[in-house]
Amino acid sequence: MMLNRGQYGNERILSRASVALMTTGQMTPEQRVGSEFFLETNRDWGFGVSILTQRDDVASAPGRFGWDGGFGTSWYADPREDLTAILMTQVLGFPSRIDRDFWTLVYGALAD
């Protein structure tokens, strides 16, 4: 629904403006200080989702939004690619960074 700008089928559930606000970075520069542990340096925080703001690898598509959970899940949607993917593991905190491998493979599989 969020990839479809608030619509599900032919029915509008959220306004386009609401989806835009939810998927746009809302943090001030002061709030970003010290947030790198959760958001790294290429992310911002919208209303309930992490938003990628700059590319630093093949999978860091600006505009992609979602969240990496601390208990082994990773979900993101990419409006430019019309893509949603979910990783579910039972690896607390991703010590092996399997999530980065997963997202690299997802984006590597996209045809040009």
Question: Is residue 61 in a domain?
Answer: yes
Can you tell me the distance from the alpha carbon of 60 to that of 20, in angstroms, rounded to the nearest whole number? 19
Over residues 8-26, the mean pLDDT reads 92
Question: Is residue 16 in a domain?
Answer: yes
Question: Is residue 81 in a domain?
Answer: yes
Question: Is residue 1 in a domain?
Answer: no
Q: Which domain holds residue 77?
A: 7-108
Overall residue count recorded for the chain in this entry: 112
Question: Is residue 2 in a domain?
Answer: no
Which residues, other chains included, contact 59 with Cβ-Cβ below 8 Å and sequence gap of 6+? 100, 103, 104, 106, 107
Question: Is residue 49 in a domain?
Answer: yes
Question: Is residue 103 in a domain?
Answer: yes
Q: How many domains does the chain have?
A: 1
Q: What is the pLDDT of residues 42-101, one digit of tens each?
A: 889 888 899 999 888 888 899 999 988 777 788 999 999 999 999 998 776 555 678 888
pLDDT for the residue 95: 52
